[in-house]
Chains A and B, each alone.
Chain A
Amino acid sequence: GIQVEQSPPDLILQEGANSTLRCNFSDSVNNLQWFHQNPWGQLINLFYIPSGTKQNGRLSATTVATERYSLLYISSSQTTDSGVYFCAVGRNTGFQKLVFGTGTRLLVSP
């Protein structure tokens, strides 16, 4: 099956710093989502981005489908950005399961 790798596994930042999280996947995909798992375990949708670039406030994401990777950019990080960031991909169109990466654990200190 498809493999999803995320890097770095852990990241510690000072408040205000910028960061880039990477997601590599082993095969072509029709679905790619980025999630933030907050300290209470809730998965929050950040981006649905099987290709192209999107921005939402301080966050932006780019997926280069032909090269099988996606990047999540966090600018001017805040302590509330702390948590685990997951990339998940799906190969099919329509109904499909997501395959998750192992996540990047981010800690933003004041």
Chain B
Amino acid sequence: GAGVSQSPSNKVTEKGKDVELRCDPISGHTALYWYRQSLGQGLEFLIYFQGNSAPDKSGLPSDRFSAERTGGSVSTLTIQRTQQEDSAVYLCASSDVVYSAYNEQFFGPGTRLTVL
């Protein structure tokens, strides 16, 4: 079946604007994750969803970042009042895990965000 998809693939915005990034996980995957890859910080975890709830938001860098997931499928990551330090590639992953030890995560192609 289809892999994880993300849109847009590239987004250029002006400082202070809001942006929304979308992730479509692999069909049937219960877990969805957001990560960020930037030059200075490497690959870092942001948030994960278990169904539609987000038990772990520990990686969100500030209250300008929020995310939601609806219908146990599509997720949206929203960044309000973007800053230049938000420029990065935002990666989404999903996994098929139901309280078991197996948790292989599969990644989408990412959204490259540039804040001018």
Residues of A near any B CB (own CB < 8 A): 30-31, 33, 35, 40-43, 45, 48, 86, 88, 90, 93-100, 102-103
Contacts and interface: CB of A to CB of B under 8 A. Distances in A.
Given A40-B109, A41-B89, A41-B109, A99 B103 contact: no
A40 B100 CA distance: 33
Contacts of B44: 100
A97 B46 CA distance: 9
Contacts, number: 62
B43 A97 contact: no
Contacts of B103: 30-31, 90, 93-96
A11 B112 CA distance: 26
Contacts of A95: 31, 48, 50, 55-56, 95, 97, 103
A94 B105 contact: no
A50 to B, nearest CB: 8
Nearest to B37: A41
Contact of B104 (A48, A86, A100, A102): A48
B55 A94 contact: no
Nearest to B50: A95
A33 B33 CA distance: 15
A86 B59 CA distance: 19
B110 interface: yes
B49 to A, nearest CB: 9
B100 A93 contact: yes
Contacts of A96: 48, 103
A105 to B, nearest CB: 12
Contact of B105 (A40, A42, A98): A98
A30 B95 CA distance: 15
Interface string B25-59: 00000010101010000111100101000011001
